[in-house]
Each structure stands twice: as structure tokens, then as C-alpha cells.
């Protein structure tokens, strides 16, 4: 995802500097070209050697240690100028103060000045330092200069205090970077409604009926749509997944909850994508108390749930694009095409549970996009890439409607 991207990481002197090793390593694994600059104080917490080994690039601490024969490419200018994104993390109160006032007296504060790329600043410090009016004013100033501030996490801080000031986890920092430089912003102005995950249908206070959906495909769709600039609402059944950056999430439990949330949000959505594995049946009644074991078998009467996709297809607004999924174990294409017709959808993403690398729980998928006019079989891809392809196709249908 970050192939060919040039990323500059500015590490400052906070205890959380050690977390940046995982950030650099993660970015390199995603094929980014990562350049680390550090303040002198940061080297008390983690050595430049660590970042050098992980990034495979020289790490700069001293503006006068530029080690170059070509003075048209002095690193304190070229690093920032050539970057696709800069992340300053952990950003200390000191460095934030300097950046807010245009002071450039070390490598980190110097590289940001010539940069024209997105600059992300991730403050990390003691809670009272963070809440200090001067620090808050400086953060506001950075915002007003167009820098993006990554809110610190709350919790137990290394200084012994509890509160806001923790550096977010490496995967979250990486997500901010990916979000900032994602390739295209071609969905700005589009409202996208996605549902994801399984539903749980209660039998009694202890038991429920559910399915094997992990929610990964729907979350990928929401994440990629947000990265492409869409305004995204994600209606999610119970999953263990983190809400993607920039996505508005509504948590639901049952098929009925999901129906209500989808219907409520459908009217002003441009693209609706139903990736959830919605229960087709729900217990006729939910026992108030635990159902006790008795001799013989137990039969639980089940009622049909509403078909959300079908309802939305019947109520489809002009210009709206509706995309469904189809999970089959046999006759994949024929059954999926039937769903396209019967649910008045614009596209069905058909995936077979019987192919390795496709379906529930895994991070990859093999999908055939079935529209009214054609069928396109996508190869095995990550769910994020599948999401990207689905959104591109939905956008092109949307431009024709
Ligand atoms: N779907 C829905 N509401 C339901 C059941 C399914 O909106 N109560 C949606 C799913 O989110 C998916 C599409 O319908 O986008 C197809 O779901 P799938 O489970 O493949 O098929 P079903 O419609 O349930 O039909 P069948 O059980 O016959 O395969």
C-alpha cells in the first residue's frame, strides 16, 4: 500500500520513542521508504542505530552531520521537501512549542519547515503538561497551519499519572499515515453506508444464534471509502475490529437493530453496501430466564427476519447505488445473479466459501463483481484491495445513474 512512498518520521525525546521502532518496521514492511530524524534528547530513549537498521537509511540527529558531497541536496532541506508525509511522534511540548513558533534549531524542527506534504503531529507527554494552556494554544496554532494533530490516548502514563498523553499504538499511527497519503480522494462529497459483521439473535439471556462472519470485508470497505474521501457510516454487528479512521460507527446486535439502523441512514446515502451476514431467522420469542435443560430434545421456533437489502432495493432513491454480497457454497454465479434481480441491487459481490483464501475470518477474498451488464472475476486480493475495486465499480455505476 505504501510502495514508492517517502515517509519522514521525526522522533522527539519522550519515553514513548521506543514505540516508534514498531512504526518504522511496520511502514518498511508496507514497502515505504522511511527516513528517521531524531532530536538529541530522543537518543536518550532509543538509539539512531535501531532506526538505521529498521529503515535501512541513514538517521539524522545533527543538522551539521549531513555527510553529503552534493550540497544541492542537503538532507535538512531535501528530506522534508521530498516527503509524501511527515509524522512527528512522540511530539513533546518542547518540539510542539518550537514548531508553533517557526523555531528550527534541530533536525526535527528543521525538516518540517520546507515541507509541503501533510504533516502529522502526535503529542505525547504528562497529562498536566498536555492540558497546559500554552501547549494547547501551540497545538491549535499547528492546526491552523494545516498540520493534523493525532489525539493522544488516555491511560496510565509512564510518569505515574493517569490521563490523556499516551502515544497511540504503532498500528494506529501507521493507519494515520496511510490515511494521509492514500492515493486518490475521488469519493469526496459521497455519502457511503456500509454494514458489516454478524448479527446475534437472542434465545435467552445466555444464548444466541450467530454466524462465522468476522466483519473484515465490511470494515475494509468502510476504511477504504473513508480514505478515498467519502463520508462513511458503518453499521456493525458484534466484532473485535477497531473502528477505521474517519468512519462513523453505529453498533448493533440483532438483525432487527441492523434493519432499523440501515433504514434510518439509507435515505441520504449515495452508495449503500451490505457486507453484513444478517441472520435470516430469529427466535420467535426470547426467554426471560435461562432455558433449563429437560429430558428430550428442544425445538426453538424461528421467524424470518426482514431482508434489509431487498427492502432498500425496493425503496431505492434516484441516483443511489446499492451493492450486496452473496455468500454461497454452490452455484455461486447463478444464485448471485438471482439475488441481483430479486433484491433490485446494482451489483452483487459474489464469494464462495469453498475457495481457499475467500470468505469469513481471513484477510483475503476472491470475489466476482456481478452487475446488470457484466461479470468481473477479481483475483485473490487483500480485503482492502477488494474493497477498493468494489468502490471503484460502485462509483462508475453511480456516474451512470
Ligand atoms: N441480507 C440482508 N438481510 C437479510 C439477509 C441478507 O440484507 N436478512 C443481505 C446480505 O447482507 C447480503 C445479501 O443480502 O448483502 C445476500 O445475503 P446471503 O446471505 O448471501 O443471501 P440470502 O439473501 O440470505 O439468501 P440465501 O440464504 O438463500 O443464500
Mean residue pLDDT of the chain comes to 94
Separation of CA 277 and ligand 1 centre (Å) = 7
Measured in Å, residue 205 CA sits from the centre of ligand 1 at 26
- Reply yes or no on whether 12 is catalytic: no
**Alpha-carbon distance values, 63 to 106, 203, 288, 388 (Å):** 6, 67, 70, 41
Residue 397 is inside which H or E element, if any? helix 383-400
DSSP of 38-52: E-TGGGGTS-HHHHH
Strand 368-371 to 375-377 pairing: antiparallel
371 membership: H or E segment, kind and range: strand 368-371
Rounded to whole angstroms, how far apart are CA atoms 287 and 283?
Answer: 9
Choosing from 309, 312, 359, 390 the residue with most ligand 1 atoms within 8 A of its CB, the one to mutate for a pocket test is 309
pLDDT, tens digit, 9 for 90 and up, residues 292-314: 999 999 999 999 999 999 999 99
Nearest residue to 310 (alpha-carbon basis) of 278, 342, 348, 277: 342
How does pLDDT run across 217-228, given as a tens digit for each residue? 999 999 999 999
pLDDT at position 379 = 92
Indicate which atom in ligand 1 lies nearest the CA of residue 311: 7
Q: Which three cell numbers stand for residue 83?
A: 516527503
Measured in Å, residue 307 CA sits from the centre of ligand 1 at 7
Burial class (CB in 10 A: 0-12, 13-18, 19+), 248: middle
d(CA 350, CA 347): 9
Q: How confident is the model at residue 75 (pLDDT cuts 50, 70, 90)?
A: confident
pLDDT for the residue numbered 227: 92
How far does residue 106's CA lie from ligand 1's centre (Å)?
Answer: 58
Q: Whose CA is nearest to atom 20 of ligand 1?
A: 326
**Pocket lined around ligand 1, Cβ cut-off 6 Å:** 255, 274, 276, 278, 280, 305, 307-309, 324-327, 339
Q: What is the pLDDT of residue 354?
A: 78
Q: Which of 221, 265, 276, 280 to mutate to test the pocket of ligand 1 (most atoms within 8 A of CB)?
A: 280
pLDDT at residue 71, rounded to an integer: 61
Give residue 118's Cα distance to chain centre: 18
Tell me how far apart the terminal alpha carbons of the chain are, to the nearest angstrom. 31
- Whether the per-residue pLDDT at 72 is higher than 70: the answer is no
Amino acid at each position: 500500500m505504501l510502495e514508492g512512498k517517502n515517509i519522514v518520521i521525526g522522533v522527539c525525546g519522550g519515553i514513548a520513542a521506543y514505540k516508534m521502532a514498531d512504526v518504522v518496521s511496520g511502514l518498511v514492511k508496507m514497502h515505504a521508504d522511511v527516513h528517521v530524524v531524531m532530536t538529541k534528547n530522543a537518543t536518550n530513549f532509543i538509539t539512531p542505530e535501531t532506526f538505521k537498521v529498521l529503515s535501512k537509511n541513514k538517521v539524522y540527529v545533527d543538522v551539521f552531520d549531513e555527510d553529503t558531497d552534493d550540497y544541492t541536496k542537503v538532507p535538512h532541506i531535501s528530506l522534508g521537501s521530498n516527503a509524501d508525509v511527515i509524522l512527528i511522534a512522540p511530539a513533546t511540548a518542547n518540539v510542539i512549542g518550537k514548531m508553533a513558533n517557526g523555531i528550527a534549531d534541530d533536525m526535527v524542527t528543521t525538516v518540517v519547515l520546507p515541507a509541503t506534504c501533510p504533516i502529522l503531529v502526535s503529542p505525547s507527554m504528562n497529562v498536566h503538561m498536555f492540558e497546559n494552556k500554552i501547549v494547547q494554544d501551540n497545538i491549535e496554532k499547528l492546526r491552523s497551519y494545516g498540520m493534523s494533530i493525532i489525539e493522544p490516548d488516555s491511560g496510565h502514563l509512564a510518569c505515574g499519572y493517569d490521563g490523556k498523553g499516551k502515544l497511540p499504538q504503532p498500528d494506529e499511527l501507521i493507519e494515520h499515515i496511510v490515511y494521509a497519503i492514500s492515493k486518490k480522494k475521488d469519493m469526496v462529497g459521497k455519502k457511503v453506508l456500509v454494514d458489516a459483521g454478524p448479527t446475534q439473535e437472542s434465545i435467552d439471556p445466555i444464548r444466541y444464534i450467530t454466524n462465522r462472519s468476522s466483519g473484515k470485508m465490511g470494515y475494509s470497505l468502510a476504511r477504504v471509502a473513508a480514505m478515498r474521501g467519502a463520508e462513511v457510516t458503518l453499521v456493525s454487528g458484534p466484532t473485535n475490529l477497531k473502528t477505521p479512521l474517519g468512519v462513523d460507527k453505529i453498533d448493533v446486535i440483532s438483525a432487527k437493530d441492523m434493519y432499523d439502523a440501515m433504514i434510518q441512514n439509507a435515505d441520504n446515502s449515495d452508495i449503500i453496501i451490505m457486507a453484513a451476514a444478517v441472520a435470516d431467522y430469529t427466535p420467535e420469542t426470547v426467554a426471560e430466564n435461562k432455558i433449563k435443560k429437560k429430558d428430550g430434545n428442544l425445538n426453538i421456533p424461528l421467524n424470518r427476519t426482514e431482508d434489509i437489502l431487498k427492502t432498500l432495493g425496493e425503496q431505492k432513491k434516484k441516483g443511489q447505488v446499492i451493492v450486496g454480497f452473496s455468500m454461497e457454497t454452490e452455484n455461486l454465479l447463478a444464485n448471485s445473479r438471482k439475488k441481483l434481480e430479486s433484491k433490485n441491487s446494482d451489483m452483487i459481490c459474489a464469494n464462495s466459501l469453498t475457495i481457499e483464501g475467500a470468505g469469513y475470518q481471513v484477510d483475503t477474498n476472491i470475489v466476482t463483481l456481478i452487475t446488470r451488464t457484466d461479470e468481473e472475476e477479481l483475483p485473490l486480493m487483500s480485503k482492502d484491495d477488494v474493497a477498493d475495486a468494489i468502490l471503484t465499480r460502485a462509483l462508475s455505476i453511480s456516474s451512470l445513474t
